Amino acid sequence: MPSSFPFSQSVVNIIATGKFMPVYAVQLDFADGMVFAHTGTGQLVIDGITYEGVGTFGEVSQSQESDNSNSPMSVELTLSGLDAYILSETNVRGCRGRLARVMFVVFDENGTYAADILFSGRMDAAKFSFAGNGQEGNSITVPVIDRMAEWSRTGTERFTDENHRARHEGDRFFYAIAQMSEWPIYWGSTKDAPVFTYE
């Protein structure tokens, strides 16, 4: 039976030394490019990737789920202390549905590190909080949801010619769907099927 313990043995070994530095590291696939950040300060190189430190301005919430083990899970990533102008100019449009990953990383006194993926999913719509002209209270929060949360949503897309063309202009992949719904099906028959009409 697999263990539900969230940490690998390599992470546990570093924690067991009693002298370690823990940080959260995140990978966010924004439309403008990947963002690599961690909750410590300075730059950290993890598996050849440089993560920029955001210090106390970065926060990772506890994962949210109900008592039902099959319920959706989510975490929220918040960056606070932003200047109002920077916040207004920040482009997080189009992040919904893009990949995100949260890792727990520990470093020992020699700089040796171990990392475990705590949460992997997709970003939801970002939320902005403006507290005025000062930096205190200004923040961006990006929810990250797992696959179960995505599946539980009611979809807005339909497998129709009209809906598909609205998303992919000029693509008539579903042009015959409506016609097929009106046709009889001759199972195991050599009778020819009706001819599609292309409008």
Tell me what pLDDT residue 2 has.
44
Terminus-to-terminus CA distance in the chain, angstroms? 57
Per-chain mean pLDDT for the chain:
76
Confidence band of 11 (pLDDT split at 50, 70, 90): very high
Q: Would you list the domain boundaries of the chain?
A: 9-151, 155-199
Q: What is the pLDDT of residues 163-181, one digit of tens each?
A: 777 777 888 777 777 777 7
Q: What is the pLDDT of residues 42-96, one digit of tens each?
A: 888 888 999 988 887 777 776 655 445 454 577 888 877 666 655 555 556 667 7
3 state SS of 28: strand
Confidence band of 132 (pLDDT split at 50, 70, 90): low
- Buried residues in 68-91 as b, exposed as e (16+ CB within 10 A): eeeebbbbbbbbbebeeeebeeee
